[in-house]
């Protein structure tokens, strides 16, 4: 999780990723951020995020994204 928080902070700093649950709903992340996050997460955790997992619910909070990564790692 710490590694993910660091990735997020490097891509788009100045956000309280540990507590924010509205990264998408409040327009904090834009499409440039999303593409960067997908790319970084894929290489850091060696997972492939399929298109049907690129949905707001999985990106609204660091916790949700972490759950997705864990789920994909298990598969």
Partner 1 sequence: MNNVLEYMEQTAPRLPDKVAFANENTELTFGTVYRRARGTGSALAQRGYYREPVVVYMHKHPDMVNAFFGVVYAGCYYVPIDEEMPAHRIGLIFNTLNPRVVICDAKTRENAEKLNFGGEILMYSEICETPEDTEALRKIRKAALDVDPIYIVFTSGSTGVPKGVVACHRSVIDYIETLSEALEFNENTVYGNQTPLYFDACLKELYPTLKFGATTYLIPKQLFMFPVKLVEFLNEKRINTICWVVSALTMISAFGTFDTVKPEYLRTVAFGSEVFPIKQFNLWRQALPEATFTNLYGPTEATGMCCFYRVDREFGPGDVIPIGGPFRNTEILLLREDNTLAPDGEPGEICVRGTSVTLGYYRNPEKTAEAFVQNPLNTAYPEIIYRTGDLARRNSRGELEFISRKDYQIKHMGHRIELGEIEAVVNLEDDIRISCCVFDDANRKIVLYYVGDTDKNSLAAALRSKLPRYMLPHVIIKLDALPFTPNGKLDRKLLKEMYTGGKANG
Q: Which of 15, 38, 64, 72 binds partner 1 (CB under 8 A)?
A: 38
User: Which window, 12-20, 55-63, 67-75, contacts partner 1 (CB under 8 A)?
Assistant: 55-63
Contacts of 32-35 with C-beta under 8 Å, sequence gap 24+, read 34/59
Q: Which of 2, 13, 14, 50 binds partner 1 (CB under 8 A)?
A: 50
Helix axes 62-74, 2-11, angle to 10 degrees: 120
Total residues belonging to the chain = 75
Residues of this chain that interact with partner 1 (CB under 8 A) are 11, 24, 27, 29-32, 34-36, 38-40, 49-52, 54-56, 59
């Amino acid at each position: 999780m710490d590694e993910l928080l660091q990735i997020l902070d490097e891509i788009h700093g100045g956000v309280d990723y540990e507590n924010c649950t509205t990264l998408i709903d409040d327009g904090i992340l834009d499409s440039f951020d999303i593409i960067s996050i997908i790319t970084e997460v894929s290489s850091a955790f060696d997972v492939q995020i399929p298109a049907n997992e690129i949905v707001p619910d999985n990106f609204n909070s660091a916790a949700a994204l972490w759950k997705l990564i864990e789920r994909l790692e298990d598969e």
